[in-house]
Amino acid sequence: MKLLDQKTAIITGASRGIGRGIALTFAQNGCAVAFTYSSSTAAAEQLETELKALGVNAKGYQSNAADFEAAQQLVEDVMADFGQIDILINNAGITKDNLLMRMGEADFDSVININLKSVFNMTKAVQRTFLKQRHGSLIHMSSVVGVKGNAGQANYAASKAGIIGFSKSIALELGSRNIRSNVIAPGFIETEMTDKLAEDVVQSWRDGIPLKRGGQPEDVANACVFLASNLSNYITGQVLHVDGGMLT
């Protein structure tokens, strides 16, 4: 028996990076995976093939998490295709970094809409299903930056801090229905995004982390498996820091 056997998850933003790592790890743990992406169709098709090869039901959906109606439609489509949803991972996110002095209104709005409003959209869309079945695990991807702040990322930090307040409120609202809501706050996770940075910059970040390395998507994915599985049945309203000790 695998940890996520007979469960179905929706994972937003899984065509690359952390979301892709979560999708693969979930499939290895027996979970059926419905995942979304914004525009990377070829990468999504490739992932769908890889997931099916692991022996689980899997499908990618092009769906804008920032669009309220699209989130409703997505959940309808996933219910039609999979017949159940047990886990929602709100992972889709973007950055539009700049110092406040140079940050335009559009940079603020798009980051809030894609990172934070998406969490409202998707949680609202699965709520009815979770209430009916009287169980569900919500996992939202925040960041160390949402807890600590970061110069040049006021929009991103605000969106990631907002996710924590949202999750704790939902944990209080829906706990009596056996619906759990938790946050993961990754530190520095090495993805294609960080591959673009200069090696000496990356190395100086690694040196500052107590565990002396950047995280891998699998490190975040394993924490998600725990929060999605029955092993965490008595855990809700929490923020789990997956950051190699960065905040210590």
Q: Which stretch binds ligand NAP (CB under 6 A): 24-32, 61-69, 81-89, 204-212?
A: 61-69
Q: Is residue 141 close enough to count as binding ligand NAP by CB under 6 A?
A: yes
Q: Is residue 236 close enough to count as binding ligand NAP by CB under 6 A?
A: no
Question: Which residue in the set 3, 94, 235, 239 belongs to the binding site for ligand NAP (CB under 6 A)?
Answer: 94
Closest by CA to 143, choosing from 114, 118, 164, 168, is 164
CA distance 189 to 217: 7
Dihedral sign computed on CA atoms, order 169, 170, 171, 173 = positive
Q: Is residue 61 close enough to count as binding ligand NAP by CB under 6 A?
A: no
Closest by CA to 187, choosing from 111, 97, 247, 112, is 247
Beta-sheet strand order (sheet of 87-90): 58-62, 32-37, 8-11, 87-90, 136-141, 179-186, 239-242
Q: Least distance (Å) from ligand NAP to the CB of residue 186? A: 4
Q: Least distance (Å) from ligand NAP to the CB of residue 190? A: 7
Nearer to ligand NAP, 119 or 179 (CB): 119
Q: What is the DSSP letter of 114?
A: I
CB 248 within 8 A of CB 210: yes
Q: Is residue 123 close enough to count as binding ligand NAP by CB under 6 A?
A: no
Q: Least distance (Å) from ligand NAP to the CB of residue 35? A: 8
**156 catalytic, yes or no?**
yes
Q: Is residue 155 close enough to count as binding ligand NAP by CB under 6 A?
A: no
Residue owning tokens 């049945």: 233
Q: Is residue 64 close enough to count as binding ligand NAP by CB under 6 A?
A: yes
Q: Is residue 59 close enough to count as binding ligand NAP by CB under 6 A?
A: no
CA distance 115 to 15: 16
Q: Least distance (Å) from ligand NAP to the CB of residue 2? A: 24
Q: Is residue 19 close enough to count as binding ligand NAP by CB under 6 A?
A: yes
The pair phi, psi for residue 59, each rounded to 5°, is -155, 140
- CA gyration radius for the chain? 17
Tell me, by CB under 6 A, how many residues bind ligand NAP.
29
CA distance 203 to 209: 10
Nearer to ligand NAP, 40 or 46 (CB): 40
Question: Which residue in the set 9, 18, 89, 183 belongs to the binding site for ligand NAP (CB under 6 A)?
Answer: 18
Q: Is residue 37 close enough to count as binding ligand NAP by CB under 6 A?
A: yes
The pair phi, psi for residue 221, each rounded to 5°, is -60, -40
The footprint of ligand NAP on residues 169-228 (CB under 6 A) is 186, 188-189, 191-193
- Return the SS3 of 149: coil
The residues annotated with a catalytic role in the active site are 156
By the criterion CB under 6 A, which residues form the site for ligand NAP? 12-19, 36-40, 64-66, 91-94, 114, 141, 143, 186, 188-189, 191-193
